[in-house]
Structures are given as C-alpha cells and as structure tokens.
Structure 1
C-alpha cells in the first residue's frame, strides 16, 4: 500500500441540480496502481475528506510536479476512513 504523504492541489467536479460545479482543495494524497488495469490510476485521500469528494465525477490533481486528470470510475471508503478513487485518464 502506498503511504499518503504528498501534498497536492486537487480539483473535483460534482454534478448537481444546477449543473457541474468544481471544488478546489489542498490536501495530502497517495497515488496507486489499479490492479489488472494499467491504464487507470487510484488516488487515495486520507480523512478528514474534502466535502462531497466521494461524489466526484472528475478529478484534476497536481502532485509531485505532475498534473493528472480523468473521470472517476469507482469510489471506495476504506477501513482507515480514507477514500480511494479509481480514475480513468482523459
């Protein structure tokens, strides 16, 4: 398991009754490979979680000098209260 230690800028899109809104936060994240799918990546965010992050449809993250973005295909709350988002790059 990847340790969560990298500070990042995270933007995430939420679908609402009024259309898509984007939220932006600074938080710590971990990047992980997705088992059996080398194309996707997983983003792990520790608690306390940014508001409504578990409902994100899209994410853009700047971490360790890289910019990663894509569509959230799966979100899972883990036993340690962190959130794991499986992301398919755009």
Structure 2
C-alpha cells in the first residue's frame, strides 16, 4: 500500500573502488510498508531513473517535510520500469 506519492529529494550512496560516493536526484516517490517486516519501509521510484540508483547502498529521502534515511537491504526493478528499494532505517 502506497502511503505517500510526492516529489522528493533523494541522496544515495554508492560503494566504489575509491570509497563511498554520494549522489543526489529530484524524483517522485511512493513510500510503502514492507510486508512481514514492520521496521523496514520501501521506496518506489518511477522511471526515468538515474542509471546507478539500483546499486545504492544507503538513501536519505526528503519528502513532505520528513527526512527518512537508512541502508538499502533489497532492490528490485518492477515490470513498469520503476525501482523498489527496501530500506532498513538508521
């Protein structure tokens, strides 16, 4: 169930040979609960996506005056070309 669908600012961390690199993007997001794990939340980002977002290890999301941050535990490309990231909050 989507609980928010709004414009957002997303910072995401990537692990590289030179350490962690942080990138940013403005996008629309949907926030969802994760079935079977009430501590996690899922972020659904519709296409078009930054090409490297699927490899994100961490996210900081600013949406509707809220700031959500955590570690990406699972990413999944969906049939509609959107990306779903399951996040464990910090």
TM-score over 0.5 for the alignment?
yes
Conserved in 1, the CA contact under 8 Å of 2:12 and 2:60?
A: yes
Aligned residues: 90
Calculate the aligned-residue CA RMSD, in Å: 1.3
Between the aligned partners of 1:53 and 1:27, the Cα distance in structure 2 is 12
1:74 maps to what in 2?
74
Q: 1:78 to 1:4 in 2, by over 3 A?
A: farther
After superposition, where does 1:28-39 map in structure 2 within 5 Å? 28-39=28-39
Q: Which runs of 4+ in 1 moved over 3 A?
A: none
Unmatched 5+ stretches in structure 1: none
Conserved in 1, the CA contact under 8 Å of 2:5 and 2:31?
A: no
Give the secondary-structure state (helix, strand or coil) at the position aligned to 2:50. Answer: coil
Q: 1:34 to 1:89 in 2, by over 3 A?
A: same
Unmatched 5+ stretches in structure 2: none
